[in-house]
């Protein structure tokens, strides 16, 4: 005779399900929780646009870095890290002014050209701007949780800045601003204010795919595109494709940290104690937002979205108000999946990335180096849970 499970067993099972429902881990590549059915559908359809491989017939080029968003943000899931390294160039003038060299094709120097452009001009990439004072390499980062970062109020970011280091902790932190004065937050130099602007720009800058928000192609080192080389009419994708991509990117969640027991738990406390958390703020909070899942949410960020002077060894280009040595605190969400670290991927391990912190980061770096070996290990174990 089959017996129905006893009530306590049912109850326990139910309670277990409820409990696991509350703390259900968010895996890399998952959407943020609390989306409506329609938003979830747009997230999935947006991922398909993100992963679309463009051809010259569909709008790729004439200059480009890669043929799909998902070619650079891909490993191990769409929206994660990539192997591609880009070339950026700007000119930093002695008076402190930064020229993004738009008139010479900057700041992003595309490394590929379509067959039609090759045939017309005999070039296989964009020429380097002659007035550049520095070139920079940029590794392809994961873009987890950027929709939440987008929804942090400007006033919060401004309130974290301490440009004159009034509290004397050796860490100042400055806000970057776009050309029109808005607070910047995206890109390694925190130059771009809003996520949808970054995405629309990426279509053109990375792939040569024009869209309703950015309807014109990049120049070829400042020169116009030869006749007949890019016959696809602008915009090369429509508003819906752009909106879907934006929804995929803004709904892409920061993955939950792995369990932090033992050493990793100790590492988390050390991260606070030796001052890593003075820049890598573990959590931030979004402001009021029309999307419920983004409305006043506390989330794992591990950044303050500010620029910090990281010393001469890491310095490369200026961008906006950011001087060559200033970089935005890199959000560490998903860093357990990264294989190379820092803006140009020069560090092959987390330990090396920490040891290369200079400038405002040198105090925390020195305290890290002064830790007992087992404490250093604990801190690294913690980072490997993020
Ligand atoms: C050729 C490789 C490549 C392609 C293609 C590419 N990206 Fe990126 N992406 C990068 C790199 C490199 C950066 C870092 C730029 C920087 O440091 O300023 C980046 C940064 C970003 C960021 C900002 C992340 C942050 O932390 O501020 C977003 C968002 C983004 N990409 C979205 C996209 C979207 C959407 C597409 C397709 C339209 C795309 N990317 C195509 C390489 C790429
Ligand atoms: C003064 C602010 C500051 C402090 C303090 C700081 N960091 Fe950073 N951190 C940054 C900035 C800025 C970057 C990006 C630098 C770059 O890309 O060249 C970064 C990058 C990193 C990266 C590389 C992330 C990636 O995906 O490439 C790791 C790992 C890291 N920090 C860990 C730490 C740890 C651990 C500590 C404490 C020992 C620490 N940081 C202290 C500002 C700081």
pLDDT in tens, 10-57: 444 444 444 444 568 999 999 999 999 999 999 999 999 999 999 999
> Cα–chain-centroid distance for residue 316?
18
What is the distance between the alpha carbons of residues 51 and 49, in angstroms, rounded to a whole number? 5
Could you tell me which of 292, 370, 359, 364 has the C-alpha nearest to residue 326? 359
Query: For residue 338, which atom of ligand 2 is closest to its CA?
Result: 26
Q: Other C-beta atoms within 10 Å of 369: how many?
A: 12
The confidence score (pLDDT) of residue 24 equals 86
- Is residue 54 within 8 A of residue 232, CB to CB? The reply is no
- Is residue 325 within 8 A of residue 359, CB to CB? The reply is yes
Could you tell me which of 377, 114, 109, 119 has the C-alpha nearest to residue 232? 114
Q: Other C-beta atoms within 10 Å of 330: how many?
A: 18
- Is residue 138 within 8 A of residue 274, CB to CB? The reply is no
Query: For residue 356, which atom of ligand 2 is closest to its CA?
Result: 18
The confidence score (pLDDT) of residue 6 equals 43
The confidence score (pLDDT) of residue 176 equals 98
The two tokens of residue 110 are 């595309």
Given a cut of 70, the residues of the chain with pLDDT beneath it are: 1-23
Angstrom distances, CA of residue 217 to CA of 58, 196, 222, 230, 235:
14, 18, 11, 9, 9
Could you tell me which of 136, 64, 141 has the C-alpha nearest to residue 107? 136
User: Is residue 386 in contact with ligand 2, taking CB distance under 6 Å?
Assistant: no
Using the mean position of ligand 2's atoms as its centre, give its distance from the Cα of residue 273 in Å. Answer: 15
- Ligand 2: which of 330, 336, 352, 360 to mutate, most ligand atoms within 8 Å of CB? 330
Could you tell me which of 310, 243, 325 has the C-alpha nearest to residue 279? 310
Could you tell me which of 313, 324, 316 has the C-alpha nearest to residue 356? 313
Angstrom distances, CA of residue 117 to CA of 62, 108, 125, 219, 260:
6, 18, 9, 12, 52
Q: What are phi and psi of 249, to 5 degrees?
A: -70, -40
What is the distance between the alpha carbons of residues 367 and 379, in angstroms, rounded to a whole number? 12
The two tokens of residue 205 are 């800058």
Could you tell me which of 334, 332, 337, 144 has the C-alpha nearest to residue 252? 144
User: Is residue 343 in contact with ligand 2, taking CB distance under 6 Å?
Assistant: yes
- Is residue 43 within 8 A of residue 266, CB to CB? The reply is no
The two tokens of residue 285 are 């909070």
- Contacts of residue 317, Cβ cutoff 8 Å, sequence gap at least 6: 88, 89, 90, 92, 107, 133, 134, 135, 136, 189, 324
- Is residue 37 within 8 A of residue 50, CB to CB? The reply is no
Using the mean position of ligand 1's atoms as its centre, give its distance from the Cα of residue 134 in Å. Answer: 21
Q: What are phi and psi of 298, to 5 degrees?
A: -90, 135
What is the distance between the alpha carbons of residues 347 and 313, in angstroms, rounded to a whole number? 13
Find the residues whose C-beta lies inside 6 A of ligand 1.
65-66, 69, 71-73, 84, 86, 138, 140-141, 143, 146, 186-188, 195, 198-199, 202-203, 206-207, 245, 249, 343
């Amino acid at each position: 005779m089959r017996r129905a499970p006893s009530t306590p067993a049912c109850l326990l099972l139910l309670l277990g399900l409820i409990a696991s429902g509350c703390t259900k881990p968010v895996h890399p590549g998952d959407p943020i929780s609390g989306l409506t059915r329609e938003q979830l559908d747009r997230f999935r359809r947006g991922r398909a646009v993100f992963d679309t491989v463009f051809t010259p017939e569909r709008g790729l080029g004439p200059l480009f870095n890669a043929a799909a968003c998902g070619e650079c943000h891909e490993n191990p899931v769409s929206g994660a890290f990539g192997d591609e390294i880009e070339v950026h160039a700007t000119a930093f003038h002695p008076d402190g002014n930064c020229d993004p060299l738009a008139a010479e094709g900057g700041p992003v120097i595309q490394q590929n050209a379509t067959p039609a452009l090759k045939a017309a001009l005999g070039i296989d990439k964009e020429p380097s701007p002659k007035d550049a004072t520095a070139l920079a390499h940029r590794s392809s980062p994961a873009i987890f949780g950027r929709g939440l970062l987008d929804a942090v109020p400007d006033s919060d970011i401004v309130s974290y800045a301490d440009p004159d280091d009034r509290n004397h902790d050796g860490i100042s932190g400055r806000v970057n601003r776009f050309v029109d004065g808005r607070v910047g937050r995206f890109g390694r130099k925190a130059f771009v204010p809003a996520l949808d602007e970054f995405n629309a720009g990426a279509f053109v800058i990375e792939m040569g795919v024009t869209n309703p928000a950015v309807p014109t192609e990049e120049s070829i080192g400042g020169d116009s595109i030869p006749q007949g080389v890019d016959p696809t009419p602008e915009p090369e994708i429509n508003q819906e494709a752009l909106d879907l991509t934006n929804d995929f990117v803004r709904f892409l969640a920061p993955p939950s940290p792995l369990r932090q027991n033992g050493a990793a738990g100790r590492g988390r406390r050390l991260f606070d104690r030796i001052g890593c958390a003075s820049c890598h703020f573990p959590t931030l909070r979004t402001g009021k937002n029309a999307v419920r899942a983004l409305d006043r949410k506390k989330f794992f960020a591990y950044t303050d979205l500010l620029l910090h002077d990281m010393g001469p060894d890491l310095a490369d280009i200026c961008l906006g108000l950011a001087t060559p040595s200033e970089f935005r605190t890199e959000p560490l969400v998903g860093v357990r999946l990264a294989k190379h670290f820092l803006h140009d991927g020069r560090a092959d391990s987390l330990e090396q990335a920490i040891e290369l912190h200079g400038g405002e980061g040198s105090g925390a770096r020195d305290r890290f180096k002064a830790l007992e070996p087992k404490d250093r290990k604990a801190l690294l174990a913690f980072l490997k849970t993020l």
